[in-house]
Amino acid sequence: MEAILITDIPWGGVANQGQHILFDLRFADGQTERYACAISTVPLLMGNLTQYASMAEAVRVKAPPRSIVEAAPYRVTEVVSSGNAPDGSIVAVTYNTTHGFPLSIAMTPDQARTTIEFLQREILLASRPQDHNRTN
């Protein structure tokens, strides 16, 4: 593997009146470097890293087709709050996570209904382990 191994993210903060995030990466050789990222780029950074973790976990672990990949999802520890836009166009839920920071998800009411339906189906399937090998 030709790469510099990251071992920790020991610090983070904000700069330029919240227009950028700052974070330090610590490497296997013990050195630390500071990076800045425009707030508009953060979803791309997080999304891509999460997808790469999912790809790595799929290679590492063979699991039934309906299994979630352990490396990618944020693990919720508590549902904190929910809310909606004044015009009803968006609903949101905020969760505390094992990653140490809250995660908020915003979606249209139709997307929320679809999410509820998917979760209800998964709860039913999870309660019947013999059905786990079924596909959508």
Contact 29, 40 (CB under 8 A): no
Contact by Cβ (8 Å): 20, 38: yes
Of 10 and 62, the one with more pLDDT: 10
Yes or no: say if 71 and 54 are a contact pair by the CB < 8 Å rule.
yes
Q: What is the pLDDT of residues 9-58, one digit of tens each?
A: 999 999 999 999 999 999 999 999 999 999 999 989 988 888 888 778 77
Residue 24 has a pLDDT of 97
Q: Which tens digits make up the pLDDT trace of 65-109?
A: 666 655 567 789 999 999 999 999 999 999 998 877 888 999 999
CA distances from 91 to 29, 74, 95, 122 (A): 45, 20, 14, 22
Closest CA to 103 of 78, 126, 121: 78
Tell me what pLDDT residue 89 has.
97
* Amino acid sitting at position 80: V
pLDDT of residue 58: 75
